[in-house]
């Protein structure tokens, strides 16, 4: 096909043409006279030297050739509009954002020149102290639920100290010692600790936050190659979206990272793109991010019409997060499943149509404290949550600590977690049970045992608080296999799929949080069957419950309720609004068989 160029094929139009051509499998050739160019090769396209008004021939062969030809012709005839050639990536957090680009790429730090071992050790110790102080201050400034995400990083910094000093003793500079010990990015918390220590050694603060402050009082889209939890936690509200470099090329590591969890809680969409795509965005230009469909798309310099459309969708999503979407009652009657919310702080807003609080994480209400909360403090907090729940039932999970969730006022011995740790700290346990029992006398409230091991755990707690409804949280393969005995003793059951999946699959909870693995689902299905055989209701409260495809699987398996973060409640309701029981059962069957 021949077409007249509306713009010369200089750098910008040529790069847009190459971007569009590269999306397709077809082989695409451009011709100008006797010269020929591969449409996917920027050097070839520029070498044509095609000027505005000249005619070129476009030929496409192979799979999706017709679509490729149509898209390139449309690009040319519409004046090489950037609207037609967004950068393509994947969504870590869904949403739409429009704002001025703040490009904050990490600078390559030169290898440190070691001084004396004593001097380098002194510098390292100073950096470690500053890092620990920053993390402590961050924990105080954040809501308890978010502060808890940084607790493992504090342990990383403490554990790294001796190794860093060992590397210095072997002749490295403090900077190189930090890189040697924390160089691998097994988790984004390790990357966060590394960046924090290197900043401390350089005597600098995060460059990204400084650039955002300098951008003024405008909506911003942050573009960065180092998305860390600390950065997300510190972002001002005017940062409406994030474009981040996906270093691991679609591995999914950033999708379930601590940084993504924090961004999701703030309603900030995150698009993951290749490094060349992020590098093509110019500081200060308008950027639009849309991660609501697959693939995610990022436009640098969208047209006024596209930007206006993006802002309208952004406002609609903001309203939807505040409004609970008005479809909850329909979902409940059609699918026979309640939609509940998880509450982590006294500032969490419970949507009016939520059918209750399925999980109150009491340990997060008091995580920033140095000492255990008193019975009166707990009682007051429980009544506050009951008021926010609009008179619906509040399920109060007793303090869940131990393992990678330490609480300074609930010391744990090796291997103690959940109910085992509570039973080892009887004074803390009994004060909490008294507070829950008092609150339950005036508001619908029940107790939930974290990391329940056996029916004996349930009977022990029931004996201490005979007036309370007592439920069991099944989060381990052993408990799932013993579900028949546990549900016999309990009034209800909650399935914690994050821990269950992590233990079954042998991975971290962040990596397992969205895993619909048939080995996990087989245990879930058996536990649901055991509970229903004894007339007990079952709630799922793991991360996967907030994902509409995962929620459909659990509905198909027969759960009675799904409990999700307040920020994802409307998304879940909309995701289930058109589902049928037959579709959910089919999704569950496919996942159980491994064919989904």
259: alpha, beta or left? (left if phi > 0; alpha if psi -120 to 50): alpha
* 544 touches 516 (CB < 8 A): yes
* 112 touches 306 (CB < 8 A): no
Question: Which letter does DSSP use for residue 65 in this model?
Answer: H
* 414 touches 379 (CB < 8 A): no
Instruction: Kindly list the distances between the CA atom of residue 46 and the CA atoms of 56, 101, 107, 291, 468, in Å, as whole numbers in the listed order.
Output: 13, 27, 30, 32, 75
Task: Give CA–CA dist 435/457, Å, rounded.
Answer: 19
Q: Give residue for tokens 């689902």.
A: 521
Q: Of residues 10, 258, 276, 390, which has the active-site annotation?
A: 10
| Alpha helical stretches, state H, 5-41 | 11-22
* 58 touches 28 (CB < 8 A): yes
Residue partners of 494: CB distance under 8 A and separation at least 6: 358, 359, 395, 397, 448, 471, 472, 473, 474, 538, 539, 540, 541, 563
How many CB atoms are closer than 10 A to CB 22?
A: 14
- Asked about 10 being catalytic, the answer comes back as yes
- Which residue in 58, 9, 68 sits closest to 38, CA to CA? 58
* 310 touches 288 (CB < 8 A): yes
Q: Give residue for tokens 């939609």.
A: 339
Q: How many angstroms separate the most distant Cα atoms in the chain?
A: 90
Task: Give CA–CA dist 266/237, Å, rounded.
Answer: 9
Task: Give CA–CA dist 520/471, Å, rounded.
Answer: 21
Q: What does the block give as tokens for 549?
A: 């495809």
Task: Give CA–CA dist 372/429, Å, rounded.
Answer: 11
The values of phi and psi at residue 187, to 5°, are -140, 165
* 527 touches 483 (CB < 8 A): yes
Active centre residues (catalytic): 10
């Amino acid at each position: 096909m021949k077409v007249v160029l509306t713009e010369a094929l200089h750098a910008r139009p040529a790069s847009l043409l190459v971007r569009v051509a590269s999306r397709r499998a077809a082989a695409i050739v451009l011709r100008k006279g006797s010269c020929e160019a591969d449409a996917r090769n920027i050097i070839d396209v520029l070498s044509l030297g095609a000027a505005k008004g000249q005619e070129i021939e476009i030929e496409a062969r192979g799979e999706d050739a017709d679509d490729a030809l149509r898209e390139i012709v449309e690009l040319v005839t519409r004046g090489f509009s950037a609207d037609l050639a967004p950068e393509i990536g994947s969504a870590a957090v869904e949403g739409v954002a429009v704002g001025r680009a703040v490009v904050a790429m990490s600078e390559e730090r030169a290898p440190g020149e070691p001084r004396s071992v004593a001097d380098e050790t002194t510098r390292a110790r100073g950096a470690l102290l500053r890092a620990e102080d920053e993390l402590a201050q961050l924990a105080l400034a954040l809501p308890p639920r978010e502060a808890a995400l940084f607790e493992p990083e504090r342990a990383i910094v403490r554990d790294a100290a001796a190794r860093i000093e060992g590397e210095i003793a072997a002749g490295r500079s403090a900077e190189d010692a930090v890189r040697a010990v924390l160089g691998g990015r097994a988790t984004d918390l390790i990357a966060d600790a590394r960046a924090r220590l290197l900043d401390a050694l350089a005597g600098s603060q995060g460059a990204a936050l400084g650039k955002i402050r300098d951008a003024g009082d405008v909506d911003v889209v942050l573009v960065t190659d180092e998305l860390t939890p600390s950065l997300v936690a510190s972002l001002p509200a005017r940062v409406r979206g994030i474009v981040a470099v996906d270093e691991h090329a679609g591995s999914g590591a950033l999708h379930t990272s601590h940084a993504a969890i924090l961004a999701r809680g703030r309603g900030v969409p995150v698009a993951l793109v290749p490094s060349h795509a992020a590098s093509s965005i110019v500081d200060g230009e308008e950027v639009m991010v849309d991660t609501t469909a697959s693939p995610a798309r990022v436009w640098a310099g969208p047209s006024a019409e596209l930007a206006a459309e993006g802002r309208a969708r952004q406002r609609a999503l903001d309203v939807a997060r505040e409004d609970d979407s008005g479809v909850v009652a329909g979902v409940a009657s059609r699918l026979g499943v309640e939609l509940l919310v998880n509450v982590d702080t006294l500032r969490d807003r419970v949507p009016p149509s939520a059918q209750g609080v399925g999980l109150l994480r009491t340990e997060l209400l008091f995580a920033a404290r140095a000492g255990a909360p008193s019975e009166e403090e707990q009682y007051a907090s429980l009544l506050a949550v009951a008021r926010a729940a609009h008179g619906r039932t509040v399920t109060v999970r007793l303090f869940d600590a131990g393992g990678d969730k330490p609480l300074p006022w609930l010391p744990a011995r090796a291997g103690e977690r959940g109910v085992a740790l509570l039973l080892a700290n009887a004074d803390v346990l009994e004060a909490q049970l008294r507070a829950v029992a008092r609150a339950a006398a005036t508001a619908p409230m029940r107790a939930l045992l974290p990391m329940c091991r056996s029916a004996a755990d349930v009977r022990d707690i029931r004996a201490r608080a005979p007036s309370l409804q007592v439920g069991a949280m099944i989060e381990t393969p052993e408990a799932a296999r013993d579900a028949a005995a546990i549900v016999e003793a309990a009034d209800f059951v909650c399935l914690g799929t994050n821990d269950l999946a992590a233990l079954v699959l042998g991975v971290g909870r962040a990596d397992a949080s969205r895993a619909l693995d048939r080995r996990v689902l087989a245990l879930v299905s058996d536990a649901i069957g055991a509970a229903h055989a004894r007339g007990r209701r079952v709630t799922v409260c793991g991360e996967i419950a907030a994902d509409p495809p995962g929620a459909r699987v659990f509905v198909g398996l027969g759960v009675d309720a799904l409990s999700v973060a307040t920020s994802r409640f409307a998304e879940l309701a909309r995701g289930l609004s058109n589902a049928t029981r037959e579709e959910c059962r089919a999704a569950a069957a496919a996942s159980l068989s491994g064919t989904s």
